[in-house]
Every structure is written in C-alpha cells, then in structure tokens.
Amino acid sequence: MRIPLDYYRILGVPIQATEQQLSQAYHDRALQLPRREYSDNTINARKQLLDEAYAVLCDPERRSTYDASFLAKTYDLESEATERSSNLGTGHPATTPWLEISNEQFVGALLILHELGEYELVLQLGRPLLEPRETLTPEQQQIISVPLVRTDIVLTLALACLEAGRDQWQQGQSEEAARYGQMGQDLLLQEGLFPNLRGEIQADLYKLRPYRVLELLSQEDPQEPQRRKGIQLLQEMFEERGGIDGNGDDQSGLGIDDFLKFIQQIRSYLSASEQQEIFEREARRPSAVGTYLAIYAMVARGFTERQPGLIARAKDLLSRLSRRQDVHLEQAVCALLLGQTEEASRALELSQEYEPLAFIREHSQGSPDLLPGLCLYGERWLQTEVFPHFRNLSSEQAALKDYFADERVQAYLEQIPAEDEAANEWSVVDSQGATPTPQLQNNPSVASLGADGSPQENLAPVSSPSAKQSLNPATSSKTAPRSRSSSSTGTGAKESRPAASSRPSSPPKRRGREDVAPRKHPPDTAPTPSQESRRSPRRYTPDNSFGRYLFIGLGGIAAIILLIFFIQWVFGGRNTEVAEEQTPATPAETVSEPSPTPEPTPEPTPDTLDESLATKVVSSWLSAKAAALGENHQIDALNSVLTEPLLSEWRNIARQVEQNNAYREYSHDVTVESVQINPDNPNLATVQATVQETATAYSNGQPDTGNSYDSTLSVRYSLVKEEDSWKIRGVQVL
C-alpha cells in the first residue's frame, strides 16, 4: 500500500544531507523509542522503515536511483496538482511523495507520521481502520488482523489528538484545542484503553477551561450558543471550586487570588444582566465576592434601565456586607439613588475611606452637608468604576438629572414608604430591636425569599480576602493569554492562568488602602454597637432639603426637574403619605399590638373590603404565587393580584426560578385577623393575617429539601384599590 512518506522524511534530513548527517540522524531516531504502551509489532515496523531508509540513502548507487525516482514522483504530483487546481480555479495544494510499504508496516508508518507532527494526516489515515469490520476493505481488514495492531492505532490516534490540541492551545485557539482533546477522550473511552493517557488529556481539558471561557465570551460578534457555553463552563468551575472564593479544586491550576483576577478579566465581556444572573447565584452560596459583584450588576442595571428596585436590592445586599467590610460609600450612593438623603448622609459618616471622602468634602464646600459632593462622586463612580466592567455599558453616560427625571424612577420613589415591605415577601424583624431589614436565614419561618424564590442564608464569614480587597486592581495582569506554557504538564498556577484579554478588564478601582496586596483573611473588626444602631435605614420622606441638596449638587437644570418631582410628590402623593401615617406602624424596637378593628360600617357593597373579601384577596395572592413559582411557571397570574412595586419584584423572582429550572409546590392556610381602611382614602387599606405556608422545592426535577419549609407567620399586607378590585402592593412580616 502507499503511504505519504519518503526516506528523507523518515530520517528527518534534507535531500542534500551528507553521509555523516544521515548516519547521525539514523542513530538518533533509532535511540528515540516510542511510548512503552506500544506493542513489539509496531516498534519493529517502525525500525524496519528506519533501517530501509538508511540502507538506501547510505548506498550512493541506490540513493542516486532513489533520488531520480523521488524527483520524478514529485514532478508528476506537482504537474497533476497544477492541472487539477487550474481546472478548479484554486491555488496549488500541497504535494507529498509516497512510498510503497507492506500492510504489516502500516502501523509503523503511522507512528513515524505522528513523530513528524503530521497529526491531521495520522487521524485521516488511522480513523477509518476503527470503523466496523464489515465496512473495511480487504486490505484494511488485513492490517488490523495482526494482534494488538488495533490497540496501537488507537494509541497513535489519541496521542495525535493530545499533541494537536496542545499545538492549537499554543496558537491561542482554545476551543479548537478542546475539540481535539475531547476527540481523544471519546476515542479512549469508547475503546476502554489507556487510562493514564486519558488522565493526561483530561488534565489539559481542565487547564483549558479558563482560556475557553475567555475565548467564547470575548469574541466581537459571538453567537448566543457560544456565550451560553462559555457561561456554562464558568459555572462548572464555580461548582468544582465551591464558589468564586471557594477552596475546591477545579484542576485549572488557578489559586484563589489568580481565579479572582481571572473573574475580573472576563467581567468586561459579560453584560450587566449576565453578571447579575451569575453572581446572584454565587451570592447565595454564600460568597462575599459574589455578593459584591452582584451588587455592581444590580446598581448598573438599576441606573441605566431606570429600575430603582434593583438598586434597592443592591442596598439590601450591601447592608449584609457592611458587617465585615467598609462598603458605606456604596451604601451612600444607593441611598442617594433611592432619594434617601438622610440615610446617605449617615452612611458617609460611617465610611473610613479617606480619599473619596476628601473629594466629597471638597465639592460640598458652602453646603450644610455632603450631598453635593456625593452627587458628583456618585456620577463619577458609576462612570469610571461600574459601567466599564459590563459589555453593554462601557460607553454609557451617568447623569443623575436624567435618572431622577425619568417617570419610572419618579413612580418608584413615590412608593418608597412601602419599599421595605416590597423587597421580599417575608422580611425579618431583629430580635434585638433593630430596624427591620431584609436578611437571609436558614429558618424558613423567618426567611427572605431570594431571586430564585428560595429562602436564603446569612452571609457566613469567609476565609478568603474580603470582597473589595479581592478585587484589587494592583494585582491584575495586562497581557492576553495567547500562549501555552508549561502549565500543560501540570506546573505552577501562574504559568497556567489566563492573564488578561486583548481588551483588559480592570477591577473596581477602590480607594487608597486597596492598593495594598489582598489579605488572606478579612479584617477582624466588627462594628461597634453605636455604629450598628446608626446603620438602620430610615425611609425617605420628601422635604425641602432634598430639592435644595440636589440643586447644589447638580445645578439649576437638575433643580428644576427635581422641583417638578417634589411638587408631584407633595400634591400628587399626599394621599399616600396620609395613608402611611394612618397605617399602624410596627417599629422594630417594640412589638406592636394587632391593628384595631375598624368601626362597623354599613352593609358592604360587593367591592367593599371586609374580612371575607380580604381573605379572598390574600388567598388569591398566595395561589398566584404558587402558580408563578410552580412547575408550569404561570407568571402572568401575578398581574391580577399584585401592583407595583411588588408586582415587578415577584415577576423577576418567578422568571429567575424558571431560568434556574426550579419550581415549588405550596399549600396555604389563611386567617385574617383585622382589616383597616384608611379613613382619609378609602382606596387604601391594611390587612393583618396569620399565614401557614408549606413549600416543597424542586431543582432540576429533584426534591430540594434544603429550600423546603413549613412556617406560620403573622403578616401585614398593604392593599390599594384599582379599577374596583383590591391588589397587594406591599408585604411585611410582624
């Protein structure tokens, strides 16, 4: 049979080689034995070809005859290729001389082609021999009839896949490298051979994953399946590591610090919505770094998409991080974007970040407070430290006046008095008497529902660097990972990690003290009791100072816009304010008595809210929640029982539950304790009820006992009448 080889290539010498060069090359090749897994038949076939090549080329007469034949074959092949390419209108294909060899020598020739780096040719010649025997030609059947030849062919093909993959990796083609590696793995698994070689290939595939993620996400115009594949690979790494800052081994060779740099590197290739989805899931492990990155995504989306509800959720997450880290500046910006100026000022007082505070004070000169400087700082923070880390926001402009002028923002801010109730269905009341803030706990009876509709856990202390320190720009690398180093053989993590993309992403540029190298443990400093008591957020109420502060900070144009907002609030929202004043409040410092039963009213009309109708409204809400979070994900069921801002929150929760391939089965028992209609506005009411809720959670079709619970709660519902029907706009656990 013919094989695309010649004697010069077998020995690895040029056609002009001297006799001494031929002798040296022959002895070198003879001493370089193949892997020990090869059978003696294959090793002997290889040696026969080496001996034959050396014997011909070392004999001047035989070499002269061979050269004449060799050159004639080459000329004929080139002429044939030229004619063929001329007829087809294509360029000259490569031409290769050939040898006539025996069938017994085929596997030796295949091995020599592998040693010459002809990996594609090895696959092209060898793979057909592994097809079912009945499909092979008589010549092919004769080749594989020799004992152990099939095994040696499998070994040669797998080695070709391994080396071809490494060549592609060296050239920066990570996905192509992974394709070769997976081809070799599949072949070895199918044949059930060479577990050690499978381990080598698998080790390369593990080390390739960070490069593949970067390649799949960084393409200028990637297809959606490619992006989803890149995100899936990233999430597989998270699972194996136990989270972003986990101590598990994903076998990529990246330590915690290197992996955090890698995460910073890929962030600019992910959109804000993609980052929110990814990092919110990580935050629920819990993960301090995941929480911090989810906050960035929520703030970015909340500002650019004019969804203050996302900013409110980010502020809630920051309140948990603030127990172990100084994130008071971020809290101040979030409070400002929610119109909570007093809370923003208190957060600034708690911050210990010198340089930003100096900037804020400098730009607040002449003002009785720091809000003018905070406005300017907030714009710059969004523009320089938030937006650049999102694929879809790198060119976005941050203008507070445009944000506050948006009707969606104004409508949401008008509902701020109910925001604490709307953020989660169940909000926790601190047993120590602190102001109630949404928290994450294991106890389902006091659980806050997270983005997937499941009770979340308290943010546990982490042994990795704090979230802000872990995102240290000083340690980010600046060059693209377009070459493979000794990492492929399992050496150090620094050699195997991706460095940075061609469009390098920098981490959130922190202030002053963050230029220090990341610490291995978070600072062991807890806030003092006085700080804790000052940290409780107050709800924003409109007053003249709000307009005055933003007038100073944003200039005359912003002041005019906010003045319009202020007038709308004062006159358009007066009924809402009165309703809130009349609604019995439940401060966390004291345990409130049940709301008093309203005065007897005349015989109610069908749409008058009494105990019976209130029971129906609450039951309808719980049924709609069960349908929206159930197996069929009937999200539109929420529209008939909820109104803003609660409706948007629960629609988002239901959508994320569906995306996570999860669902819940609920059973409820409702007892209405009291109904109170606002005497100044009969379209507003408060209902207090005892709710017994049992939830059975499922994830990927399997029961999820960790998120199942059975709890009994006392709940206050804020209702509003819209078009002759009562809807729920807020929920608060008592």
At 441 the pLDDT is 29
In the predicted model, what is the mean pLDDT of residues 512-517?
32
Work out the angle at residue 321's Cα, subtended by the Cα atoms of residues 317 and 323, and round it to the nearest 5 degrees: 130
List the one residue out of 123, 126, 116 whose CA is nearest residue 149. Answer: 126
More confident of the two residues 379 and 562: 379
What is the b/e burial string over 376-403, where b = at least 16 CB atoms within 10 angstroms of the residue's CB? bbbbebbeebbbbbbbebeebebebbeb
Model confidence at 469, pLDDT cuts 50, 70, 90, reads low
CA-CA distance, 306 to 400, in Å (whole number)? 11
Q: Is the pLDDT of residue 465 over 90?
A: no
pLDDT tens digits for range 383-431? 999 999 999 998 889 999 999 999 999 999 988 764 343 334 443 333 3
Q: Is the pLDDT of residue 305 over 70?
A: yes
The distance of Cα 375 from the centroid of its chain, to the nearest Å, equals 30
Strand partners, 702: 699
Q: Is the pLDDT of residue 483 over 50?
A: no
Model confidence at 595, pLDDT cuts 50, 70, 90, reads very low
In the predicted model, what is the mean pLDDT of residues 648-665?
87
Q: Taking each helix axis as running N to C, give the angle between helix 106-115 and helix 119-126, from 0 to 180 degrees, rounded to the nearest 10.
A: 160
In the predicted model, what is the mean pLDDT of residues 129-158?
89
pLDDT tens digits for range 351-379? 999 999 999 999 999 888 999 999 999 99
More confident of the two residues 373 and 644: 373
pTM of the model: 0.57
Least confident of 319-333, 522-536, 615-629: 522-536
Q: Is the pLDDT of residue 178 over 50?
A: yes
DSSP of 528-573: PHHHHHHTPPPPP---HHHHHHHHHHH-HHHHHHHHHHHHIIIIIS
CA-CA distance, 652 to 310, in Å (whole number)? 10
At 72 the pLDDT is 64
Q: Is the pLDDT of residue 254 over 90?
A: yes
Model confidence at 659, pLDDT cuts 50, 70, 90, reads confident
CA-CA distance, 541 to 559, in Å (whole number)? 17
Give the C-alpha distances (Å, rounded to integers) separating 474 from 21, 289, 508, 522. 54, 17, 11, 18
At 645 the pLDDT is 83
Q: Is the pLDDT of residue 79 over 50?
A: no
Coil/strand/helix, residue 302: helix
In the predicted model, what is the mean pLDDT of residues 247-257?
93
In contact, 357 and 364? CB cutoff 8 Å: no
List the one residue out of 2, 53, 3, 49 whose CA is nearest residue 23. Answer: 53
List of residues 6+ apart from 30 with CB closer than 8 A: 47, 50
List of residues 6+ apart from 356 with CB closer than 8 A: 329, 377, 511
At 562 the pLDDT is 52
Model confidence at 680, pLDDT cuts 50, 70, 90, reads confident
Q: Is the pLDDT of residue 704 over 70?
A: yes
At 542 the pLDDT is 35
List the one residue out of 574, 547, 573 whose CA is nearest residue 561. Answer: 547
Coil/strand/helix, residue 706: helix
In contact, 304 and 389? CB cutoff 8 Å: no
Residue recorded with tokens 């061609």:
502
CA-CA distance, 383 to 397, in Å (whole number)? 6
DSSP of 365-418: TTSSSSHHHHHHHHHHHIIIIIGGGSTTTTT----HHHHHHSHHHHHHHTTGGG
List the one residue out of 507, 445, 435, 440 whose CA is nearest residue 287. Answer: 440
Coil/strand/helix, residue 39: coil
CB neighbourhood size of 201 (10 A): 23
In contact, 96 and 77? CB cutoff 8 Å: yes
Coil/strand/helix, residue 511: coil
Q: Is the pLDDT of residue 575 over 70?
A: no
At 424 the pLDDT is 40
- pLDDT more than 90, % of the chain: 49
Structure token digits, residue 377: 């700082």
In contact, 291 and 317? CB cutoff 8 Å: yes
Give the DSSP H or E segment for 619: helix 611-628
In the predicted model, what is the mean pLDDT of residues 682-686?
89
The distance of Cα 502 from the centroid of its chain, to the nearest Å, equals 20
At 266 the pLDDT is 95
Give the C-alpha distances (Å, rounded to integers) separating 423 from 120, 417, 587, 659, 704. 58, 12, 17, 20, 24
In contact, 348 and 360? CB cutoff 8 Å: yes
List of residues 6+ apart from 392 with CB closer than 8 A: 271, 272
Least confident of 107-111, 302-306, 662-666, 699-703: 699-703
In the predicted model, what is the mean pLDDT of residues 91-106?
72
List the one residue out of 561, 562, 520 whose CA is nearest residue 544. Answer: 562
pLDDT tens digits for range 255-295? 999 999 999 999 999 999 999 999 999 999 889 999 999 99
Q: Is the pLDDT of residue 495 over 80?
A: no
- The C-alpha R_g of the chain, in whole angstroms, comes to 35
More confident of the two residues 523 and 616: 616
Work out the angle at residue 377's Cα, subtended by the Cα atoms of residues 376 and 380, and round it to the nearest 5 degrees: 90
At 578 the pLDDT is 34
At 33 the pLDDT is 87
- pLDDT more than 70, % of the chain: 70
List the one residue out of 102, 103, 100, 111 whose CA is nearest residue 43. Answer: 111
Q: Is the pLDDT of residue 142 over 90?
A: no
In contact, 411 and 572? CB cutoff 8 Å: no
At 489 the pLDDT is 35
Least confident of 74-78, 165-169, 472-476, 682-686: 472-476
CA-CA distance, 362 to 374, in Å (whole number)? 10
pLDDT tens digits for range 192-228? 999 999 999 999 999 999 999 999 999 877 678 889 9
Model confidence at 607, pLDDT cuts 50, 70, 90, reads low
Kindly tell me the number of DSSP H helices and DSSP E strands found in the chain.
30, 7
At 82 the pLDDT is 43
List the one residue out of 126, 192, 123, 213 whose CA is nearest residue 162. Answer: 123
In the predicted model, what is the mean pLDDT of residues 567-584?
40
Residue type for position 378: G
Residue type for position 178: A
In the predicted model, what is the mean pLDDT of residues 699-725?
84
Q: Is the pLDDT of residue 442 over 50?
A: no
At 147 the pLDDT is 82
CA-CA distance, 272 to 483, in Å (whole number)? 29
More confident of the two residues 121 and 440: 121
In the predicted model, what is the mean pLDDT of residues 451-456?
35
More confident of the two residues 713 and 493: 713
Q: What is the mean pLDDT of the chain?
A: 76
In contact, 726 and 641? CB cutoff 8 Å: no
In contact, 500 and 315? CB cutoff 8 Å: no
